[in-house]
A and B are shown apart, each in its own frame.
Chain A
Amino acid sequence: MKGLAGAATRYRIMAWITGVLLAVMVCIGLPLRYWLLKDNWHSPVSTVYSIGWVLHGWMFVLYLAAALDVTFRMKYSVLKVLGVAVSGTIPFMSFVAEHFVKRDVTAKLMQ
């Protein structure tokens, strides 16, 4: 139980950062990049777009570390752990995962 609250906070922060960044990349970045610019890989927008994915990649590394940490402390089943882990790569799913993890952690802390 020790450290669970901190682990949950870390996970929730990363879930939001990763989720918002992924939503921006998918909802704004993708259409801008592929419908507006087509094959123009050398425009500054392409560079910013690529940097966005690099940033999401590193944020996801932190997300995964935090997610594994909190799900481990919660003694989640392997399937649930994988579900929470993969949520960081599916648009808007990290918000859903965050909701359930928060609910479970709150319930456990109340015991």
Chain B
Amino acid sequence: MLRLLFTPRWLARSLLGVVLLAACVGLGVWQWDRAQATLDSEHAALEVPVQVIDLAPAGTDLPGESVGRPVFATGSYTAPPLYVSNRALDGRKGFWVLSPLELSDGSQVAILRGWLPEVVEVPTGNVEVTGVMQPYENFYSGSTAKNGVIVSMTRDEIVAAWGEDVRAGIVNLSSQDPAFPGDPLPVPSTVQPGGVGFPLQNFFYALQWLIFAGFVVFFWWRWIGIDLRDLDRGKEAP
């Protein structure tokens, strides 16, 4: 076999095999990197804050792909807030405060402004806010508001208080400019953005290049096997 390998013909064939093998592996790695780059950029895109009106349509539930996305909005806290009972912050019992923010187009979006130890009036006015989109809660969905106090942030409760056209979901406040004295304490967001589409095309191309690399090895091996057999039978290799 060694003598056959070092004939000029088989040296050339082996060299071609190595070149093809390297090309297949290189192209496979390139497609793998492209798949990773696509994933990274899709994840990064989810981290960029966007206008709340782009993620929260009016008159419906929050679309799944909006959950956990950072948003910003400019508007004014108008109507009296809703107070969500039985919410603790750092072990202290209290209330969450949910205010409608009226946007420049006249629509409203629910802002979870934070936590207060008791039901007290909260400041109103024009603000710029950033926050994280979170879906409605859906437990205790049959209950109704009493004096502006609700037990869970369901769509029904919010629509009953602020009208059918309120934008979907709840913005969990991260920052507010200007801050007012007497603002509630912001509560940490617990939702995460959903997954991103996996770049299957690049991933499979990477896999396929590895399969092609396997083909190169397989056929080199099969070919030299046939030449060896022919040599043993005293024929000249093709």
Q: Mostly helix, strand, loop or mixed at chain A's interface?
A: helix
Contact between chains at A78 and B13 (CB < 8 Å):
yes
A64 to B200, CA, bound (A): 21
A50 to B222, CA, bound (A): 35
Contact between chains at A64 and B222 (CB < 8 Å):
no
Contact between chains at A54 and B16 (CB < 8 Å):
no
B124 an interface residue at 8 Å Cβ cutoff? no
Q: Which residues in window 64-111 of A have CB below 8 A to B?
A: 64-65, 68, 72, 75, 78
Interface residues contributed by chain B, number (CB under 8 Å): 14
Closest A residue to B205 by beta carbon equals A57
Give the distance to chain B from A75, nearest Cβ to Cβ, in Å: 6
Contact between chains at B16 and A78 (CB < 8 Å):
yes
Give the distance to chain B from A91, nearest Cβ to Cβ, in Å: 18
A68 to B219, CA, bound (A): 8
A61 an interface residue at 8 Å Cβ cutoff? yes
Contact between chains at B238 and A65 (CB < 8 Å):
no
Closest B residue to A67 by beta carbon equals B215
Q: Which residues of B contact A (CB under 8 A)?
A: 13, 16, 200-201, 204-205, 208, 211-212, 215, 219, 222-223, 238
